[in-house]
Amino acid sequence: MEFVHDTLGQRVRFGSGKAAVMLASEIEERGAERAMVIAAPAEQELAARVTAAVPVAVRCDEVVMHVPVDVADRACHSAMAGDADLLISVGGGSTTGLAKAVALRTGLPIVSVPTTYAGSEATNVWGLTEGARKTTGSDLKVLPKAVIYDAELTLSLPVEMSVASGLNALAHCVDSMWAPRTDPINQALAAEGIRALSEGLPRVANSPRGLAGRELVLYAAYVSAVAFASAGSGLHHKICHYLGGAFNLPHAQTHSVVLPYVLAINAPVAPEAERRIATAFGAGDALSGLAALREELDAPRALRDYGLKRDQLHDAAIALVEVVPDSNPRPLSAADLEALLEAAWAGTEPRTLLPQAVAATTFSQETTAR
């Protein structure tokens, strides 16, 4: 075993119904007096509740998915004009993303209060979109200094979005198994994320107002994001990142749809990762574990349902072939990627990719051997 592992430093406070109190003490401890609160219109009520006891100087509600540069510019201007000394984000990944864009330019610290399972709060990755091109980078300035998890804030997240967002977290875990900086530590976190999500997500879907399931998924979202931040972007994230930026597809739903196809194309040639994923699901093989969970959750199925056009797939495959990570368990041609995109676009059974990926026998031998 030989590896180099960086652990990102941030405080995590977790307590249902405690966000307002935890946030107030976090802000007091940091000595902030002029906070800027960032929350999308749908998150305003949650933000008002959570920031009631905090000195707020500026509020910003112009939140747009994938953080367009002009939106980031205006938010930076508001922060500076209002002489803000700290950023508080209350919302999903888009809201956290805007806070990160402001932090990147101003150096202001972020305290993040997530209300979805996207996990951006636990990473040092920022993203900005200009036209149809999404650029990402990593910088410690954008890593929130503290994260406040309160599962009560997620009770209002509709089941459909909860499922998609939870599967986004699951994608962090699965992709971590073969991402460029994968190592035993982030693989252990990823396996724990898969275990907790496969137990928690059905509970959320069946009982959306039940706190226990929400807590489990929120905890899993954090663990998953820590694994992802450490392991980096694997094939799955490269594909979704490109599709999201180029075609403005909804983030969580895109991840939900694409994941089984990436698993189908990689698992047969990554037996150790496949075994860990299967074990975490408590399933005979990784694909079956994911399929059973997706079935139970009635997960998003096809990219065509989210606005992607079939005639966009070929060019997307050509662009993606340039960004397949060297760490991917198998090299992929543009034709392989087009087959993957075609299947994800149509919502075809993921196992249909297996014979094109490698001889199906390799896969069945692995699973039989286990």
How many residues at the interface with ligand NAD, by CB under 6 A?
Answer: 28
Check binding of 43 to ligand NAD (CB under 6 A): yes
Check binding of 252 to ligand NAD (CB under 6 A): yes
Q: Figure out which of the listed residues 68, 93, 213, 350 binds ligand NAD, where binding follows CB under 6 A.
A: 93
Least distance in angstroms from the C-beta of 30 to ligand NAD: 22
User: Using CB under 6 A, which of the segments 21-29, 92-100, 300-308, 335-343 binds ligand NAD?
Assistant: 92-100
User: Using CB under 6 A, which of the segments 22-30, 149-157, 212-220, 314-322 binds ligand NAD?
Assistant: 149-157
Check binding of 37 to ligand NAD (CB under 6 A): no
Which CB contacts under 8 angstroms, 24+ apart, belong to 200-205? Answer: 200/166, 201/162, 201/163, 201/166, 201/167, 201/170, 201/293, 201/297, 202/293, 202/296, 202/297, 204/159, 204/162, 204/163, 204/166, 205/159, 205/162, 205/163, 205/296, 205/297, 205/298
Q: Cα dist. 4→12, 193, 230, 231 in Å?
A: 24, 21, 10, 11
Name the residue with tokens 């749809």: 257
User: Using CB under 6 A, which of the segments 75-83, 111-119, 199-207, 327-335 binds ligand NAD?
Assistant: 111-119
Check binding of 148 to ligand NAD (CB under 6 A): no
Do 92 and 166 meet the contact criterion of CB atoms below 8 Å apart?
no
Q: Figure out which of the listed residues 10, 78, 154, 176 binds ligand NAD, where binding follows CB under 6 A.
A: 154
Check binding of 91 to ligand NAD (CB under 6 A): yes
Name the residue with tokens 């931040």: 229
Check binding of 10 to ligand NAD (CB under 6 A): no
Count of Cβ atoms closer than 10 Å to residue 4 Cβ: 6
Least distance in angstroms from the C-beta of 315 to ligand NAD: 21
Least distance in angstroms from the C-beta of 45 to ligand NAD: 9
Binding mask 44-63 for ligand NAD (x = CB under 6 A): --------------------
Least distance in angstroms from the C-beta of 314 to ligand NAD: 24
Ordered alpha helix ranges (H), 88-183: 93-106, 159-176
Do 83 and 55 meet the contact criterion of CB atoms below 8 Å apart?
no
> What is the spatial distance between Cα 34 and Cα 313, in angstroms, rounded to a whole number?
47
Q: Figure out which of the listed residues 120, 176, 328, 367 binds ligand NAD, where binding follows CB under 6 A.
A: 120
CB closer to ligand NAD out of 91 and 329 = 91
Binding mask 163-202 for ligand NAD (x = CB under 6 A): --x--x----------------------------------
Check binding of 116 to ligand NAD (CB under 6 A): yes
Q: Figure out which of the listed residues 25, 44, 156, 348 binds ligand NAD, where binding follows CB under 6 A.
A: 156
> What is the spatial distance between Cα 239 and Cα 236, in angstroms, rounded to a whole number?
5
Do 353 and 337 meet the contact criterion of CB atoms below 8 Å apart?
no
With the CA atoms of 239, 319, 311 and 236 taken in that order, what torsion angle do they form, in degrees rounded to the nearest 10?
Answer: -10
Q: Is the dihedral of CA 295, 336, 284, 273 positive or negative?
A: negative
Burial class for 341, CB neighbours closer than 10 Å (0-12, 13-18, 19+):
buried
Least distance in angstroms from the C-beta of 86 to ligand NAD: 20
Residues lying near ligand NAD in the complex (CB under 6 A) are found at 40, 42-43, 65-66, 91-95, 97, 115-116, 118-120, 123, 125, 127, 153-154, 156-157, 161, 165, 168, 251-252
